[in-house]
Amino acid sequence: MKNWLPAVLAFSVLVLVTFIVSNKPTPAKPEVNDNAIACNLGDLSGRIDLNDTLATFEGTQFRVPRLALIQNEQRVLGTTSENRWIEIDLSEQKLRAWEGNSLFLETPVSTGLPWYPTPTGEFKIWIKLRATKMEGGQGEYYYYLPNVPFVMYFGNDKVPGWRGYGLHGTYWHDDFGTQRSHGCVNLPTPVAERLYYWVGPQLQGGASVQASTNNQGTRIVIHE
């Protein structure tokens, strides 16, 4: 009987551990909210803040890379064609920029997670910012991202601009082609830069510009 005791004790411990692990509650995901904010809109000046260079994403702190902090010279641009539009396919996790039926560029992207979905529909860019700070989420999903580059916020009558959905460059991950964001459309930074200077509203000098009747934003179509 004594020889069985260690085996019985070991088996009992194994059963207990298995029960605890299998019954451990899964971390709760935030509920999907029709009025959720992708990121809180703060400074809309578009200026790069060289004093704010420490970012936080998925519980990790790191330095903002130099690529996002380069002060680009103002480009000389032509007029934006009304035939230019952007298509975002959520099922493929791809963005395509079109001029009429001609493809300007195609790239993998990272759109919103299931509990932070990217909205579908037809939108227009309402403001472009060379850089801005993005902060939001909570708990393990909290993020603080200064100097997010080449930001193009969009909205429509049902998804107002203050909800903070946009296209922008991304320095905190390179896992494009998978859902990773809080609702925005994450782009490789070089691609975001090309789009930023290609879409309307056209820059008038400086680091930001809002759309107007005479300087309209480019149309964006987002679908499954």
User: What is the per-residue pLDDT for 70?
Assistant: 87
The low-confidence residues of the chain, meaning pLDDT below 70, are 1-34, 73-80
Burial of 98 (0-12, 13-18, 19+ CB in 10 A): middle
User: What is the per-residue pLDDT for 139?
Assistant: 86
Of 148, 151, 147, 156, nearest to 197 (Cα)? 151
Tell me the fold of 54-223. L,D-transpeptidase catalytic domain-like (2.40.440)
Q: Considering Cα of 206, then 211, then 217, then 221, what sign does the dihedral take?
A: positive
Q: What is the pLDDT of residues 189-223, one digit of tens each?
A: 999 999 999 999 999 888 999 999 999 999 999 99
Q: Whole-angstrom Cα distance, residue 13 to residue 218?
A: 63
User: What is the per-residue pLDDT for 24?
Assistant: 38
Element (H, E) at 196: helix 189-198
* Domains of the chain by residue range: 54-223
Q: What is the pLDDT of residues 29-39, one digit of tens each?
A: 555 566 778 88
What is the model's pTM?
Answer: 0.83
CB 189 within 8 Å of CB 150:
yes
